[in-house]
Amino acid sequence: MATFGLVHGGFHGGWCWDHLVAELAALGHDSVTMDMPIDRADATLQDYVDSVVEAMADVEGPVVMVGHSMGGLVIPHVALARPVEHMVFICAMYDEGNLPDAPPDVEIPDLDRLNFDMSLLTVDAGFTTVDREGAKGAFFPDCDPADAEWAVAQLKPQGHAPAIPLEAPWPDVPSTVIVCTDDRGTEHTRRCIAPRLGVEPVELPGGHSPFLSRPARLAQVLDEVASTLSIA
């Protein structure tokens, strides 16, 4: 049995993991979810990290930290603050300034990280808000319509903390990178991020939110990760 710390992405909250938590429990694993303070305009990325560390405080020993989308910016810093056995990045964002260098014989291409339709976003002094209808296509394109409606109703305005990175060494913790075939950041992750982490991405079908569109399959991948660890 492993304990997974599930860290949500931008605009989301701990609610987004509900289906995955049930699937992991059926496989014998525990999960911890949390709400990072994305709805606080004054919150920093360090505040996000602190909220995750606090949520994991009662878990003894190492854990598997899972970061979706913006959560990928958070979990490396959590791994510097508490024992973490493994990091899993799902359709994630990365602070590329903190990543390890690629091996000398690997050339990293100059690719755009994301191809996001900025017309879906409204940006003001404190928050970015995503268009509700546009979010269905951007975040939940292959989800059951009822699940997509439910998820869109939960989205919150996102504070600007992720735009200001935290400088820190990359943690000495092994990683798994999960990409989805139809996600906008997959090619960048496959060609620019995975080589620097020294991993081959695990590829799932579908769009940006496999925890909602195919939670059973995602749970299987996480169970396979856990089976290789000393904490399993």
Query: What range does the domain containing 161 cover?
Result: 3-227
On whether residue 72 sits in a domain, the answer given is yes
**Residue 202 covered by a domain:** yes
Q: Say if 222 falls within a structural domain.
A: yes
**Taking the model in full, what pTM does it have?**
0.96
Q: Is residue 86 part of a domain?
A: yes
HSE-CB at 37 with a 13 A cutoff on CA atoms is 16
Query: What are the CA-CA distances from residue 219 to residues 66, 138, 227 (Å)?
Result: 12, 22, 12
In a domain, 232, yes or no: no
Q: Which of 165, 191, 171 is CA-nearest to residue 97?
A: 165
Q: For 76-133, what is each residue's pLDDT tens digit? A: 999 999 999 999 999 999 999 999 998 888 888 876 666 667 778 899 989 999 999 9
Longest dimension (CA), the chain: 48
Report the CATH number at residue 14.
3.40.50.1820
- Average pLDDT of 204-229? 96
| Per-residue pLDDT reduced to its tens digit, 51-69 | 999 999 999 888 999 999 9
Separation of alpha carbons 201 and 89, rounded Å: 10
Q: How far apart are CA 201 and CA 198, in angstroms?
A: 10
Structurally, the chain folds into a number of domains equal to: 1
pLDDT of residue 170 exceeding 60, the answer is: yes
Q: Does some domain include residue 214?
A: yes
